[in-house]
Amino acid sequence: MKPRRRPPAKQKLVITGISGRMGRLLARRLHKEYEIIGIDRRGSRYLPKNVTVYQMDIRRKACEDIFRKGGIGAVIHLNIVHDLRKDAEEHHSFNVVGTHKLLDYCAKHNVPKFVLLSSANVYGASPNNNQFLNEEAPLLGASTFSGIRDLIEVDIYTNSFFWRHPEIDTVILRPVNILGHLSNAPSNYLRLKNPPTILGFDPMMQVIHVEDLIEAIVLSLKPGVRGVFNIAGPGAIALSVLHKQLGRTKIPIPELIAKPLVKLLWNLRVSALTPAELDFLKYVCMVDDRRAREVLNYRPQKSLRETIEVVRF
């Protein structure tokens, strides 16, 4: 694609995974303030006209050329594959190697800011979790949910990069369940007409509207902001109330048969729910977002009700 001419005053901003819904929202939010360069191996549509998109794999050498031109003010790394149906090895290589490469380019070509979109799920849902986990909590998500291993590895690698490169403002955002017109696990689950739950369990959950998250990403671009931030939404809500608000009829499954049943349905490609995700329907995995409120000055704008409503259809 041919880069278009534009006034040079704008700072360059690289967004990886720009073709995803989140990337598109972010590009729309920021294209007036920044010169946006998107990288994605998927084709992209419906992006603002002044966004330049390179359709390539972030692991490819050609990708570095974007950085060689210089003048990049920040990188927002959204390009992490969560789809567990994809080949695990490829998936892992793309996520981990891709992030390594990207961080190398940032260090080599003096990019002052790197933002990684991680997830609060890296902490894992467990019966002895604190009600609110802070940023120092260990990342135990993979102990029962191996699908999240990539993300934890990426998160930890970025964390070590943060310490090795004090000259770069590295930011790791760990948002709670993101709801929106997205196709991520929590939104898909809540859009089910008859969502399965586990009989006798009704944990508290945190949800965040995708637009609030976009604002948090924008806030994290401020120079000088660095470190790990939990991003929580407007409040906590019990899973059953969530379903009730959305008018869903939940199907409570006894724990004993829930795991084999969900595994069977997953293998038959009937449901998108993986057996490991059941822990998130059983135990709390909630975060303390005090740091984001204090340092980023982040405040969710959407109410709990508005946040839930977004996945009604």
Partner 1 sequence: MDKTVILERFSELMEQLASQAIDDQVLAWIEQLDRQQDEFGFDPFGFQPGFLKYVIPFGQWLYRSYFRTQVFGIENLSDGPVLVVANHSGQIPLDGFVIVGSAILSRTPPRLLRSMVEKWVPDLPFVSFFLARCGQVVGTPENCVLLLSRGEGILVFPEGVRGISKTFDRRYQLEEFGLGFMRLALETGTPIVPLAVIGAEEQAPSFVNARKLARLVGAPSFPITPTFPWLGLAGLFPYPVRYRLHYGTPMRFEGDPDDEDRVLKEKVEIVRQAVQDLVNQGLEKRRAIFW
Residues in contact with partner 1 by CB under 8 A are 127-132, 198-204, 235-238, 241, 245, 254-255, 282-284, 286, 303-305
C-beta of 71 vs 235, nearer to partner 1: 235
Q: Name 56's Cβ contacts closer than 8 Å, sequence gap at least 6.
A: 39, 41, 62, 63
Kind and range of the H or E run holding 257: helix 255-267
Cβ count near 284 (within 10 Å): 18
C-beta of 130 vs 143, nearer to partner 1: 130
The C-alpha atoms of residue 232 and residue 234 are separated, in whole angstroms, by 7
C-beta of 126 vs 271, nearer to partner 1: 126
Strands 72-77, 113-117: pairing is parallel
**Strand ranges of the sheet holding 169-175, from the earlier edge strand across to the other edge:** 52-55, 34-40, 11-16, 72-77, 113-117, 169-175, 227-231
C-beta of 80 vs 242, nearer to partner 1: 242
Instruction: Report helix, strand or coil for 75.
Output: strand
Do residues 176 and 208 lie in contact, with contact meaning Cβ atoms separated by under 8 Å?
A: yes
C-beta of 113 vs 248, nearer to partner 1: 248
Q: Residue 170 Cβ, how far from partner 1 at the closest point, in Å?
A: 26
Q: Residue 236 Cβ, how far from partner 1 at the closest point, in Å?
A: 5
Cβ count near 11 (within 10 Å): 16
C-beta of 19 vs 129, nearer to partner 1: 129
Closest to 285 (Cα-Cα) out of 180, 155, 184, 140:
140
Q: Residue 180 Cβ, how far from partner 1 at the closest point, in Å?
A: 20
C-beta of 157 vs 283, nearer to partner 1: 283
Q: Residue 247 Cβ, how far from partner 1 at the closest point, in Å?
A: 10
**Strand ranges of the sheet holding 204-209, from the earlier edge strand across to the other edge:** 177-179, 204-209, 236-238
Q: Residue 204 Cβ, how far from partner 1 at the closest point, in Å?
A: 5
Angle, nearest 10°, between helix axes 98-108 and 149-164? 20
Q: Residue 3 Cβ, how far from partner 1 at the closest point, in Å?
A: 48
Write the burial class of residue 157 (CB in 10 Å: 0-12 exposed, 13-18 middle, 19+ buried): middle
Q: Residue 248 Cβ, how far from partner 1 at the closest point, in Å?
A: 13
